[in-house]
A and B are shown apart, each in its own frame.
Chain A
């Protein structure tokens, strides 16, 4: 694969137009690091990774625009050289992860409850719809309410509404100081403790519980982090970067336990237990929980729904999202048809007939 920056807009638009004319479903492929996040797609492979290159980045504007095939690692590297970062701390799940795939999957890491989600940082996109038409929404400025907020709407749609060509993101200065505190905490009290801490004006940037211990990351000015650490107490964790990386990339030993992985997105104060055996790994200060085990999906969906959230089974080939209410599903289908009338973009990746 060529590593050159290149603009393949015309070629990709041509591919989509041909697929539209012939009604051929397309399976969109970036860095191929995240097939397990959705259902498998039957269609002609359309590789997108060579449409790459960082187009604009001015540190004082806090905005970066890059072609969607740009490797995430290249963006991290450039931002780090200016002491900046992507505050939603996206996981990559592999060295070949692209910007487009990351935003298409709407992925956010441990900082999410405190800094915001991937979609919160998307300012504008250029995309190909299912007719092969190039559309531009949003922009490169932080505030923009002209027209519907399509850039954020297509974030997380896993390519079912359009193919990203370019993405503009808001970036931030990297906090000058971070420290991670750790202490023993029983699963029964962990949720309440996390919620209490998150309701205090501490400079928190991550908070999780691994089943036995509670981990709290503070980020900000040196004086602010020091003062908060003194008030909260606990031990300082050695090599915090490695720990948070393992949470973000799902390489923490918890994820190696047997059984399929479930992601439970619930209101943070939701009390355990989850139906079924085993202790979940609690991230996002309570709002994102990982659970390993075999269970009838409907039971977990009902549990999550009744608590105001949703559950996703993440299992290669048979991942599934929480089913949608009929009225909502039908709205999804109308919206899908408005972007992709022949249903050729990653059909079935999220739901059947979508």
Chain B
């Protein structure tokens, strides 16, 4: 997903000066062992047919991913088309200790594909073949640059689909989904990427070809597939994946229910889940998000409502109609004062459109917005919203809230104007306070967007030194030279020690000249 509204970040960062290598994430290579010119010469020699971009103008499109607040021009971008080329590139980079940053469609929201100044971006977008669809085994074998949507389109003649549907599903690729363990609007019922991938082929940093998982439902030995999925490109480069396909449900229907208070909407969510309803998706929006979405797409949402629930059921018609009727009753009992259930596919898509446009709609309310991704236990939803509202007042920045209510995944959108001095920093501080709140309520700092560079500091809130040390040891077992995506996902221990000191000062940051992320 791109965020054109974040364009003014660029000005701010230009004012900050070019960003250097980030010293606080996973340990890196310690820098290349030779000059940029020599690196390019060696790469060209090793993969003569492979496009290798190195002019500043060619590199510009790769300077950031969906988190445009962080930008860095890389040394070069390689766009290989064969596994052999990837293998050669990795070999050269390992020999010369050049960081390699694997990249899919670049839609990630945490800076996981942010380039390294002295590193190579390895773009996997030319790997876009669907190698096989096996309707009896209900699997598709695909290259990593294939989009989620393309898999579902190729498998729909068999009545099958690939379930994970992140908001960027039209553009985002399976390789990136695997790196981030992507979720989506329907992961409440169908699970995350980790639940929908059977096997991946990876190249390790050492250029070794490994198959993790199997074409069956499990594999001998350790569950390496679970470890790789969500590892943010630090453990290996995915060159092929076998994904699980599901029978497409014949019918889906959506209820939109409005509530006079966030508390009553939250209670309704607990009630539906506790009573055994199994919605395919269960989303909530607060008043600011409702008004933004309605003004943007006119989905017919009641703009006075304090909270809106969107609750979808899918399956056989008998089952769906049954559930819709019962759920409507429960929602009314929980205080819903407006109910609308889709009776056609067009109506269902229109009702979804408001929720699906929440981010761009928020983008029209302020020049910039910053999207958070914390997760909390569902019961804490009212408290979380109340305290986010207080933080919003404290920092004098509006926050619109959309969440995956069924699984407690919050997406507060902090609205600000980066052209005002300090508003970007204020937005970042407010964001960090929201993540602190999520951890305090028993939740976590990221539900589906990943840590990337954005949440390295917040990782110290969630993990202690022994766990972080174990993460680094796992990285070392896969990539002893630290060439794959260094500086991402796992903070160095001294970084956390510094942040610990910062917390003593209650948000008054010492050393304001040091970059924070």
What are 29 A-B pairs with beta-carbon distances under 8 A?
A60-B274, A63-B377, A141-B447, A142-B188, A145-B181, A147-B451, A147-B463, A150-B470, A152-B194, A152-B223, A153-B222, A157-B223, A192-B136, A195-B136, A199-B158, A199-B247, A201-B248, A223-B319, A223-B321, A224-B322, A226-B318, A227-B319, A266-B216, A308-B215, A323-B220, A331-B477, A331-B478, A338-B476, A338-B477
Instruction: Please tell me which one of the listed residues A62, A129, A310 contacts residue B216 in the complex, with CB atoms under 8 A apart.
Output: A310
A positions within 8 Å CB-CB of B: 58-63, 83, 106, 112-113, 116-117, 119-120, 129, 133-137, 139-150, 152-153, 155-157, 161, 172-174, 176, 192, 195-196, 198-203, 220-224, 226-228, 265-269, 284, 287-288, 307-310, 312, 321-325, 327-329, 331-332, 334-335, 337-339, 350-351
Q: Please report the C-alpha to C-alpha distance between residue A59 and residue B278 in the assembled complex, in whole angstroms.
A: 14
With contacts A137-B467, A173-B276, A338-B470 taken as known, whether A201 is within 8 angstroms of B216 at the C-beta atoms is no
Contact B219 A310 (CB under 8 A): yes
Instruction: Please tell me which one of the listed residues A129, A222, A310, A338 contacts residue B220 in the complex, with CB atoms under 8 A apart.
Output: A310
Contact A149 B226 (CB under 8 A): yes
Give 1 or 0 for each of B183-227: 1 = CB within 8 Å of chain A CB: 100011001101100000000100011110011111111111011
**B window 91-105: CB within 8 A of A:** none
* Nearest CB of chain A from residue B230's CB, rounded to whole Å: 5
* Nearest CB of chain A from residue B240's CB, rounded to whole Å: 13
Contact B408 A142 (CB under 8 A): yes
Give 1 or 0 for each of B441-479: 1 = CB within 8 Å of chain A CB: 011111111110001000100111011001101101110
With contacts A220-B315, A265-B214, A338-B476 taken as known, whether A148 is within 8 angstroms of B379 at the C-beta atoms is no
With contacts A120-B191, A146-B459 taken as known, whether A133 is within 8 angstroms of B466 at the C-beta atoms is yes
Contact A113 B470 (CB under 8 A): no
Give the nearest-CB partner of A152 in chain B.
B226
Q: Please report the C-alpha to C-alpha distance between residue A113 and residue B198 in the assembled complex, in whole angstroms.
A: 12
Q: What residues of chain B lie closer than 8 Å to A129, measured between beta carbons?
A: 470
Q: What residues of chain A lie closer than 8 Å to B448, measured between beta carbons?
A: 143, 145
* Nearest CB of chain A from residue B94's CB, rounded to whole Å: 16
Give 1 or 0 for each of B250-274: 1 = CB within 8 Å of chain A CB: 1000000000000000000011011
Interface residue total, chain B, C-beta cutoff 8 A: 95
Is B323 part of the binding interface, using a Cβ–Cβ cutoff of 8 Å?
A: yes
Q: What residues of chain B lie closer than 8 Å to A135, measured between beta carbons?
A: 466-467, 470
Give the nearest-CB partner of B480 in chain A.
A334
Instruction: Please tell me which one of the listed residues A58, A153, A220 contacts residue B226 in the complex, with CB atoms under 8 A apart.
Output: A153
* Nearest CB of chain B from residue A192's CB, rounded to whole Å: 7
B positions within 8 Å CB-CB of A: 134-139, 158-160, 180-181, 183, 187-188, 191-192, 194-195, 204, 208-211, 214-224, 226-227, 229-231, 235, 247-250, 270-271, 273-278, 315-319, 321-323, 375-379, 404, 407-409, 442-451, 455, 459, 462-464, 466-467, 470-471, 473-474, 476-478, 489-490
Q: Please report the C-alpha to C-alpha distance between residue A30 and residue B489 in the assembled complex, in whole angstroms.
A: 35
Q: What residues of chain B lie closer than 8 Å to A117, measured between beta carbons?
A: 217-218
Q: What residues of chain A lie closer than 8 Å to B231, measured between beta carbons?
A: 148-149
Q: Please report the C-alpha to C-alpha distance between residue A153 and residue B221 in the assembled complex, in whole angstroms.
A: 10
